[in-house]
Amino acid sequence: MDRVVVTGIGVVSPVGLGAKVFWDNLLAGVCGIVPITRFDTTGYKAKLAGEVNDFRAEEFMDKREARRMDRYCQFAVAAARMAVTDAAADFAADADTVGAYIGSGIGGILTLEAEHQKLLERGPGRVSPFFIPMMISNMASGVVSMIFGIRGASLCQVSACASGAHAVGEAFLAIRRGDLTACLAGGAEAAITPLALAGFSNMTALSSAGDPALGLLPFDKRRAGFIMGEGAGVLMIESLERARARGARIYCEIVGYGATSDAYHITSPDPEGAGAARAMTLAMTQAGLAPQEIAYINAHGTGTPLNDAVETTAVHRAMGEAAAQVAMSSTKSMTGHLLGAAGGVEAAASVLTVYEDVMPPTIHYEEPDPACDLDCVPNTARRAPVRAAFSNSFGFGGHNASLLFQKYEA
Protein backbone atom coordinates (compact mmCIF):
# COMPACT_ATOMS: atom_id res chain seq x y z
CA MET A 1 0.00 0.00 0.00
CA ASP A 2 1.24 3.48 -0.88
CA ARG A 3 2.04 5.98 1.85
CA VAL A 4 0.04 9.19 1.41
CA VAL A 5 1.33 12.70 2.02
CA VAL A 6 0.01 16.27 1.97
CA THR A 7 1.91 18.57 -0.40
CA GLY A 8 -0.42 21.55 -0.88
CA ILE A 9 -3.01 23.54 1.08
CA GLY A 10 -5.71 25.91 -0.15
CA VAL A 11 -8.05 27.76 2.18
CA VAL A 12 -10.90 30.24 1.81
CA SER A 13 -12.08 31.18 5.29
CA PRO A 14 -13.59 33.93 7.44
CA VAL A 15 -10.13 34.55 8.90
CA GLY A 16 -8.32 34.84 5.59
CA LEU A 17 -7.56 33.54 2.11
CA GLY A 18 -4.61 31.24 1.56
CA ALA A 19 -2.85 28.90 3.96
CA LYS A 20 -0.41 31.46 5.39
CA VAL A 21 -2.93 34.20 6.21
CA PHE A 22 -5.40 31.62 7.54
CA TRP A 23 -2.75 30.01 9.75
CA ASP A 24 -1.26 33.27 11.02
CA ASN A 25 -4.70 34.52 12.01
CA LEU A 26 -5.62 31.26 13.75
CA LEU A 27 -2.45 31.42 15.84
CA ALA A 28 -3.14 35.09 16.63
CA GLY A 29 -6.67 34.23 17.81
CA VAL A 30 -8.37 36.42 15.22
CA CYS A 31 -12.16 36.09 15.28
CA GLY A 32 -13.85 36.03 11.87
CA ILE A 33 -17.37 36.01 13.31
CA VAL A 34 -19.22 39.26 12.58
CA PRO A 35 -22.77 40.63 12.34
CA ILE A 36 -24.30 39.37 9.09
CA THR A 37 -24.01 41.88 6.24
CA ARG A 38 -25.50 39.87 3.34
CA PHE A 39 -29.14 40.46 4.17
CA ASP A 40 -31.40 42.08 6.73
CA THR A 41 -31.58 39.88 9.84
CA THR A 42 -34.58 41.66 11.34
CA GLY A 43 -36.82 38.97 12.81
CA TYR A 44 -34.03 36.37 12.98
CA LYS A 45 -32.87 35.01 16.32
CA ALA A 46 -29.33 34.49 15.02
CA LYS A 47 -27.53 37.55 13.66
CA LEU A 48 -23.85 36.53 13.48
CA ALA A 49 -21.87 34.53 10.93
CA GLY A 50 -18.37 33.76 9.78
CA GLU A 51 -18.52 35.65 6.48
CA VAL A 52 -15.83 35.63 3.80
CA ASN A 53 -15.84 39.30 2.82
CA ASP A 54 -12.48 39.65 1.04
CA PHE A 55 -13.12 37.07 -1.70
CA ARG A 56 -13.01 38.11 -5.37
CA ALA A 57 -13.87 35.22 -7.67
CA GLU A 58 -12.17 36.86 -10.68
CA GLU A 59 -8.81 36.57 -8.93
CA PHE A 60 -9.05 32.79 -9.26
CA MET A 61 -11.11 32.18 -12.40
CA ASP A 62 -12.51 33.77 -15.51
CA LYS A 63 -15.38 36.18 -14.80
CA ARG A 64 -17.68 34.39 -17.24
CA GLU A 65 -16.94 31.04 -15.61
CA ALA A 66 -17.57 32.53 -12.17
CA ARG A 67 -21.04 33.75 -13.18
CA ARG A 68 -21.97 30.15 -13.94
CA MET A 69 -20.95 28.90 -10.50
CA ASP A 70 -22.64 29.13 -7.15
CA ARG A 71 -20.56 30.81 -4.46
CA TYR A 72 -19.69 27.47 -2.82
CA CYS A 73 -18.25 26.27 -6.16
CA GLN A 74 -16.23 29.47 -6.57
CA PHE A 75 -14.76 28.85 -3.11
CA ALA A 76 -13.84 25.29 -4.07
CA VAL A 77 -12.13 26.38 -7.28
CA ALA A 78 -10.17 29.07 -5.45
CA ALA A 79 -9.05 26.69 -2.69
CA ALA A 80 -8.09 24.02 -5.23
CA ARG A 81 -6.08 26.52 -7.25
CA MET A 82 -4.26 27.64 -4.12
CA ALA A 83 -3.51 24.03 -3.18
CA VAL A 84 -2.12 23.26 -6.65
CA THR A 85 0.04 26.39 -6.60
CA ASP A 86 1.25 25.66 -3.07
CA ALA A 87 2.19 22.12 -4.10
CA ALA A 88 3.83 23.28 -7.37
CA ALA A 89 1.87 20.41 -8.90
CA ASP A 90 1.64 19.42 -12.54
CA PHE A 91 -0.75 16.80 -13.89
CA ALA A 92 0.44 16.45 -17.48
CA ALA A 93 2.01 13.03 -16.99
CA ASP A 94 -0.67 11.28 -14.91
CA ALA A 95 -3.98 13.14 -15.32
CA ASP A 96 -5.88 9.85 -15.61
CA THR A 97 -4.96 8.90 -12.05
CA VAL A 98 -5.47 12.27 -10.33
CA GLY A 99 -8.87 12.78 -8.69
CA ALA A 100 -11.05 15.53 -7.24
CA TYR A 101 -12.98 14.63 -4.06
CA ILE A 102 -14.72 17.78 -2.84
CA GLY A 103 -17.64 17.48 -0.45
CA SER A 104 -20.44 19.91 0.35
CA GLY A 105 -23.17 19.50 2.90
CA ILE A 106 -25.70 21.76 1.19
CA GLY A 107 -24.30 22.79 -2.20
CA GLY A 108 -25.74 25.72 -4.12
CA ILE A 109 -28.44 26.94 -1.76
CA LEU A 110 -27.71 30.57 -2.64
CA THR A 111 -28.60 29.80 -6.25
CA LEU A 112 -31.64 27.77 -5.19
CA GLU A 113 -33.08 30.66 -3.20
CA ALA A 114 -32.41 33.25 -5.91
CA GLU A 115 -33.91 31.16 -8.71
CA HIS A 116 -36.93 30.17 -6.64
CA GLN A 117 -37.60 33.85 -6.06
CA LYS A 118 -37.46 34.42 -9.84
CA LEU A 119 -39.95 31.61 -10.36
CA LEU A 120 -42.41 33.09 -7.89
CA GLU A 121 -42.07 36.70 -9.04
CA ARG A 122 -41.43 36.40 -12.79
CA GLY A 123 -42.54 32.94 -13.85
CA PRO A 124 -40.82 29.74 -15.02
CA GLY A 125 -39.39 31.27 -18.19
CA ARG A 126 -37.03 33.47 -16.16
CA VAL A 127 -35.35 30.65 -14.22
CA SER A 128 -31.72 30.41 -15.33
CA PRO A 129 -30.73 27.55 -17.64
CA PHE A 130 -27.68 27.23 -15.38
CA PHE A 131 -29.84 26.77 -12.27
CA ILE A 132 -29.40 22.99 -11.94
CA PRO A 133 -25.64 22.75 -12.61
CA MET A 134 -25.06 25.73 -10.31
CA MET A 135 -27.11 24.21 -7.49
CA ILE A 136 -26.02 20.56 -7.37
CA SER A 137 -23.42 19.64 -4.78
CA ASN A 138 -21.18 17.60 -7.06
CA MET A 139 -20.37 20.51 -9.37
CA ALA A 140 -17.40 21.69 -7.31
CA SER A 141 -15.50 18.45 -7.87
CA GLY A 142 -16.63 18.40 -11.50
CA VAL A 143 -15.49 21.94 -12.25
CA VAL A 144 -12.16 21.44 -10.46
CA SER A 145 -11.56 18.36 -12.61
CA MET A 146 -12.29 20.36 -15.76
CA ILE A 147 -10.10 23.31 -14.82
CA PHE A 148 -7.06 21.16 -14.11
CA GLY A 149 -7.75 18.50 -16.73
CA ILE A 150 -7.62 15.70 -14.18
CA ARG A 151 -9.51 12.60 -15.26
CA GLY A 152 -9.37 10.31 -12.25
CA ALA A 153 -12.41 9.79 -10.03
CA SER A 154 -14.39 12.99 -9.44
CA LEU A 155 -16.63 12.54 -6.41
CA CYS A 156 -18.70 14.59 -3.98
CA GLN A 157 -19.19 13.38 -0.43
CA VAL A 158 -22.44 14.70 1.09
CA SER A 159 -22.53 13.85 4.78
CA ALA A 160 -23.53 17.16 6.37
CA CYS A 161 -20.76 18.60 8.55
CA ALA A 162 -18.53 15.55 7.99
CA SER A 163 -18.50 16.02 4.18
CA GLY A 164 -15.07 17.64 3.87
CA ALA A 165 -13.41 15.17 6.23
CA HIS A 166 -14.99 12.21 4.45
CA ALA A 167 -13.70 13.58 1.14
CA VAL A 168 -10.14 13.75 2.45
CA GLY A 169 -10.44 10.32 4.06
CA GLU A 170 -11.85 8.61 0.99
CA ALA A 171 -9.18 10.22 -1.20
CA PHE A 172 -6.54 8.94 1.23
CA LEU A 173 -7.89 5.40 0.89
CA ALA A 174 -8.05 5.63 -2.91
CA ILE A 175 -4.39 6.64 -3.10
CA ARG A 176 -3.39 4.07 -0.51
CA ARG A 177 -5.07 1.32 -2.58
CA GLY A 178 -3.38 2.54 -5.74
CA ASP A 179 -6.60 3.65 -7.45
CA LEU A 180 -5.25 7.22 -7.65
CA THR A 181 -1.77 8.72 -7.56
CA ALA A 182 -2.99 12.11 -6.27
CA CYS A 183 -6.16 13.97 -5.40
CA LEU A 184 -7.49 17.43 -4.64
CA ALA A 185 -9.64 16.75 -1.59
CA GLY A 186 -11.67 18.78 0.87
CA GLY A 187 -14.96 20.61 1.22
CA ALA A 188 -16.76 23.82 0.26
CA GLU A 189 -19.85 25.60 1.56
CA ALA A 190 -21.61 28.95 1.16
CA ALA A 191 -24.87 28.67 3.08
CA ILE A 192 -25.17 32.05 4.80
CA THR A 193 -28.57 32.72 3.24
CA PRO A 194 -31.96 33.80 4.63
CA LEU A 195 -33.52 30.34 4.30
CA ALA A 196 -30.58 28.40 5.74
CA LEU A 197 -30.18 30.82 8.64
CA ALA A 198 -33.88 30.53 9.45
CA GLY A 199 -33.80 26.74 9.25
CA PHE A 200 -30.78 26.25 11.48
CA SER A 201 -32.01 28.91 13.90
CA ASN A 202 -35.50 27.50 14.23
CA MET A 203 -34.13 24.07 15.09
CA THR A 204 -32.34 25.85 17.99
CA ALA A 205 -28.89 24.88 16.69
CA LEU A 206 -27.57 28.44 16.42
CA SER A 207 -26.36 30.85 19.06
CA SER A 208 -28.55 33.94 19.38
CA ALA A 209 -25.73 36.07 20.79
CA GLY A 210 -25.29 39.55 19.34
CA ASP A 211 -21.68 39.99 20.43
CA PRO A 212 -19.10 38.00 18.39
CA ALA A 213 -17.11 37.42 21.60
CA LEU A 214 -20.12 35.54 23.00
CA GLY A 215 -21.10 33.77 19.79
CA LEU A 216 -19.42 30.39 19.42
CA LEU A 217 -17.95 29.21 22.74
CA PRO A 218 -16.62 25.63 22.39
CA PHE A 219 -16.20 23.70 25.65
CA ASP A 220 -17.13 26.78 27.68
CA LYS A 221 -19.94 26.39 30.19
CA ARG A 222 -21.73 29.36 28.54
CA ARG A 223 -21.95 27.71 25.10
CA ALA A 224 -25.40 27.96 23.55
CA GLY A 225 -25.14 26.99 19.87
CA PHE A 226 -22.99 27.36 16.80
CA ILE A 227 -22.45 30.22 14.37
CA MET A 228 -22.64 29.54 10.63
CA GLY A 229 -19.53 30.11 8.54
CA GLU A 230 -18.57 29.71 4.89
CA GLY A 231 -15.50 28.89 2.86
CA ALA A 232 -13.49 25.98 1.49
CA GLY A 233 -10.49 23.88 2.40
CA VAL A 234 -8.73 21.73 -0.20
CA LEU A 235 -5.60 19.63 0.27
CA MET A 236 -3.30 18.38 -2.46
CA ILE A 237 -2.56 14.83 -1.38
CA GLU A 238 -0.50 12.29 -3.27
CA SER A 239 1.37 9.05 -2.94
CA LEU A 240 4.77 9.37 -1.32
CA GLU A 241 6.30 7.82 -4.43
CA ARG A 242 4.80 10.54 -6.65
CA ALA A 243 5.76 13.33 -4.24
CA ARG A 244 9.35 12.11 -3.96
CA ALA A 245 9.69 11.68 -7.71
CA ARG A 246 8.87 15.33 -8.33
CA GLY A 247 10.79 16.67 -5.33
CA ALA A 248 7.70 18.01 -3.60
CA ARG A 249 7.72 19.76 -0.23
CA ILE A 250 5.86 17.47 2.18
CA TYR A 251 3.79 18.92 5.02
CA CYS A 252 2.95 15.66 6.73
CA GLU A 253 1.65 12.15 6.17
CA ILE A 254 -1.96 10.97 6.37
CA VAL A 255 -1.84 7.73 8.30
CA GLY A 256 -5.38 6.97 9.47
CA TYR A 257 -9.06 7.52 8.73
CA GLY A 258 -12.10 6.27 10.60
CA ALA A 259 -15.69 6.59 9.39
CA THR A 260 -18.66 5.36 11.43
CA SER A 261 -22.35 6.01 12.02
CA ASP A 262 -24.10 6.68 15.30
CA ALA A 263 -27.34 5.12 14.00
CA TYR A 264 -29.03 7.15 16.73
CA HIS A 265 -30.84 10.39 15.72
CA ILE A 266 -31.21 12.75 12.75
CA THR A 267 -29.48 15.66 14.50
CA SER A 268 -28.32 14.69 17.99
CA PRO A 269 -25.13 12.71 18.56
CA ASP A 270 -25.18 9.46 20.51
CA PRO A 271 -24.81 10.71 24.10
CA GLU A 272 -22.37 7.88 24.84
CA GLY A 273 -20.04 9.03 22.06
CA ALA A 274 -19.57 5.45 20.88
CA GLY A 275 -19.58 6.14 17.14
CA ALA A 276 -17.18 9.07 17.38
CA ALA A 277 -14.86 7.08 19.64
CA ARG A 278 -14.90 4.16 17.22
CA ALA A 279 -13.95 6.45 14.32
CA MET A 280 -10.91 7.64 16.27
CA THR A 281 -10.00 4.08 17.26
CA LEU A 282 -10.25 2.89 13.66
CA ALA A 283 -7.92 5.68 12.54
CA MET A 284 -5.37 4.84 15.25
CA THR A 285 -5.49 1.14 14.41
CA GLN A 286 -4.99 1.83 10.71
CA ALA A 287 -2.06 4.12 11.52
CA GLY A 288 -0.50 1.77 14.04
CA LEU A 289 -0.40 4.55 16.61
CA ALA A 290 -1.14 4.32 20.32
CA PRO A 291 -3.25 7.02 22.03
CA GLN A 292 -0.26 8.39 23.92
CA GLU A 293 1.47 9.19 20.61
CA ILE A 294 -1.21 11.72 19.67
CA ALA A 295 -0.54 15.21 20.94
CA TYR A 296 -3.41 17.23 19.49
CA ILE A 297 -7.02 17.01 18.30
CA ASN A 298 -8.67 19.63 16.12
CA ALA A 299 -12.11 19.11 17.59
CA HIS A 300 -15.46 19.21 15.87
CA GLY A 301 -16.19 21.56 18.78
CA THR A 302 -19.33 23.31 17.57
CA GLY A 303 -20.19 25.13 20.79
CA THR A 304 -23.52 23.37 21.22
CA PRO A 305 -24.29 22.10 24.73
CA LEU A 306 -24.58 18.43 23.75
CA ASN A 307 -21.96 18.12 21.00
CA ASP A 308 -18.97 19.35 22.98
CA ALA A 309 -19.75 17.14 25.97
CA VAL A 310 -20.26 14.10 23.74
CA GLU A 311 -17.01 14.72 21.88
CA THR A 312 -15.20 14.94 25.21
CA THR A 313 -16.74 11.62 26.23
CA ALA A 314 -15.71 10.10 22.89
CA VAL A 315 -12.09 11.19 23.35
CA HIS A 316 -12.01 9.62 26.81
CA ARG A 317 -13.44 6.38 25.37
CA ALA A 318 -11.00 6.26 22.49
CA MET A 319 -7.85 7.41 24.27
CA GLY A 320 -8.27 6.14 27.80
CA GLU A 321 -5.71 7.52 30.23
CA ALA A 322 -3.92 9.34 27.38
CA ALA A 323 -6.88 11.75 27.16
CA ALA A 324 -5.50 13.55 30.21
CA GLN A 325 -2.43 14.60 28.20
CA VAL A 326 -3.93 15.38 24.78
CA ALA A 327 -4.69 18.97 23.75
CA MET A 328 -7.98 19.52 21.90
CA SER A 329 -8.93 22.94 20.54
CA SER A 330 -11.76 24.17 18.34
CA THR A 331 -10.81 26.54 15.53
CA LYS A 332 -14.56 27.03 14.96
CA SER A 333 -14.30 29.56 17.79
CA MET A 334 -12.59 31.77 15.17
CA THR A 335 -14.07 30.67 11.83
CA GLY A 336 -17.60 29.71 12.80
CA HIS A 337 -18.96 26.36 11.65
CA LEU A 338 -18.30 25.94 7.93
CA LEU A 339 -20.69 22.96 7.68
CA GLY A 340 -19.60 20.77 4.74
CA ALA A 341 -16.38 22.77 4.37
CA ALA A 342 -15.42 22.40 8.04
CA GLY A 343 -13.62 19.08 7.59
CA GLY A 344 -11.47 20.43 4.76
CA VAL A 345 -10.57 23.68 6.51
CA GLU A 346 -9.90 21.97 9.84
CA ALA A 347 -7.82 19.27 8.13
CA ALA A 348 -5.70 22.12 6.79
CA ALA A 349 -5.31 23.49 10.33
CA SER A 350 -4.36 20.03 11.61
CA VAL A 351 -1.76 19.56 8.86
CA LEU A 352 -0.18 22.89 9.75
CA THR A 353 -0.25 22.01 13.46
CA VAL A 354 1.82 18.90 12.75
CA TYR A 355 4.12 20.71 10.32
CA GLU A 356 4.77 23.75 12.51
CA ASP A 357 4.49 22.19 16.01
CA VAL A 358 2.03 24.88 17.10
CA MET A 359 -1.50 24.29 18.38
CA PRO A 360 -4.15 26.92 17.56
CA PRO A 361 -6.28 28.09 20.49
CA THR A 362 -9.92 27.93 21.45
CA ILE A 363 -10.68 31.64 21.85
CA HIS A 364 -13.19 33.37 24.14
CA TYR A 365 -12.85 30.55 26.67
CA GLU A 366 -13.62 31.75 30.21
CA GLU A 367 -15.83 29.34 32.16
CA PRO A 368 -14.70 25.69 32.41
CA ASP A 369 -17.37 22.99 32.20
CA PRO A 370 -16.82 19.72 34.11
CA ALA A 371 -18.47 17.89 31.18
CA CYS A 372 -15.68 19.20 28.90
CA ASP A 373 -12.66 18.43 31.05
CA LEU A 374 -9.95 18.17 28.37
CA ASP A 375 -7.18 20.70 27.69
CA CYS A 376 -8.79 23.02 25.11
CA VAL A 377 -5.71 25.23 24.54
CA PRO A 378 -7.58 28.24 25.94
CA ASN A 379 -7.20 31.64 24.26
CA THR A 380 -3.50 31.45 23.30
CA ALA A 381 -1.70 29.31 20.72
CA ARG A 382 0.76 26.82 22.17
CA ARG A 383 4.11 25.72 20.79
CA ALA A 384 4.71 22.04 21.55
CA PRO A 385 5.96 18.94 19.70
CA VAL A 386 3.16 17.38 17.66
CA ARG A 387 4.04 14.00 16.21
CA ALA A 388 0.43 13.15 15.36
CA ALA A 389 -2.92 14.96 15.33
CA PHE A 390 -6.56 14.09 14.82
CA SER A 391 -9.11 16.16 12.92
CA ASN A 392 -12.65 15.23 13.98
CA SER A 393 -15.85 15.98 12.05
CA PHE A 394 -19.36 14.85 12.94
CA GLY A 395 -22.52 15.49 10.92
CA PHE A 396 -26.29 15.47 11.23
CA GLY A 397 -27.51 11.96 10.52
CA GLY A 398 -24.86 10.45 12.78
CA HIS A 399 -21.94 10.66 10.33
CA ASN A 400 -18.53 10.51 12.04
CA ALA A 401 -15.14 11.04 10.43
CA SER A 402 -11.74 11.15 12.07
CA LEU A 403 -8.54 11.91 10.15
CA LEU A 404 -5.11 11.20 11.60
CA PHE A 405 -2.02 13.12 10.44
CA GLN A 406 1.56 12.32 11.39
CA LYS A 407 4.87 14.13 11.01
CA TYR A 408 6.59 12.98 7.85
CA GLU A 409 9.70 10.88 8.32
CA ALA A 410 11.64 9.67 5.28
- SS3 call for 292: helix
Amino acid symbol at 169: G
Task: Quote the CA–CA distance of 79 and 89 in Å, as a whole number.
Answer: 14
Task: Quote the CA–CA distance of 31 and 15 in Å, as a whole number.
Answer: 7
In the predicted structure, residue 153 carries a pLDDT above the cut 90: yes
Decide: 363 and 356 in contact? Cβ < 8 Å.
Answer: no
Q: Give the model confidence (pLDDT) of 375-400 as tens digits.
A: 999 999 999 999 999 999 999 999 99
Catalytic residue among 73, 156, 252, 300: 300
Residue 2's pLDDT band, with cuts at 50, 70 and 90, is confident
What are the two backbone dihedrals, phi and then psi, of residue 244, each rounded to the nearest 5 degrees? -65, -40
CATH code: domain 4-245 is 3.40.47.10
Note the pTM of the prediction, 2 decimals.
0.98
In the predicted structure, residue 57 carries a pLDDT above the cut 90: yes
> Is residue 300 flagged as an active site residue?
yes
Task: Quote the CA–CA distance of 19 and 81 in Å, as a whole number.
Answer: 12
Sign of CA dihedral 399, 299, 207, 10: negative
Q: Could you write out the three-class secondary structure of 58-92?
A: HHCCCHHHHHCCCHHHHHHHHHHHHHHHHHCCCCC
Q: Tell me what pLDDT residue 115 has.
A: 97
Mean pLDDT for all residues in the chain: 97
Decide: 72 and 232 in contact? Cβ < 8 Å.
Answer: yes
Decide: 355 and 300 in contact? Cβ < 8 Å.
Answer: no
What are the two backbone dihedrals, phi and then psi, of residue 318, each rounded to the nearest 5 degrees? -75, -35
Catalytic residue among 161, 183, 252, 376: 161
Q: Give the model confidence (pLDDT) of 106-135 as tens digits.
A: 999 999 999 999 999 999 999 999 999 999
In the predicted structure, residue 354 carries a pLDDT above the cut 90: yes
Q: Tell me what pLDDT residue 410 has.
A: 86
Task: Quote the CA–CA distance of 176 and 180 in Å, as a whole number.
Answer: 8
Residue 146's pLDDT band, with cuts at 50, 70 and 90, is very high
Mean pLDDT of 313-338: 98
Task: Quote the CA–CA distance of 201 and 45 in Å, as a whole number.
Answer: 7
CATH code: domain 256-406 is 3.40.47.10
Mean pLDDT of 306-328: 98
- In which residue ranges of the chain is CATH 3.40.47.10 found? 4-245, 256-406
In the predicted structure, residue 327 carries a pLDDT above the cut 90: yes
Which segments of 266-410 are extended strands (E)? 296-298, 327-329, 358-359, 382-383, 388-395, 399-406
Catalytic residue among 31, 183, 337, 372: 337
Which string of DSSP letters, residue by residue, matches 137-177? TTHHHHHHHHHHT--S-EE---BTBTHHHHHHHHHHHHHHH
Q: Give the model confidence (pLDDT) of 252-301 as tens digits.
A: 999 999 999 999 999 999 999 999 999 999 999 999 999 999 999 999 99
Q: Give the model confidence (pLDDT) of 207-260 as tens digits.
A: 999 999 999 999 999 999 999 999 999 999 999 999 999 999 999 999 999 999
76-111: b (≥16 Cβ within 10 Å) or e: bbbbbbbbbebbebebeebbebbbbbbbbbbbbbbb
> Is residue 166 flagged as an active site residue?
no
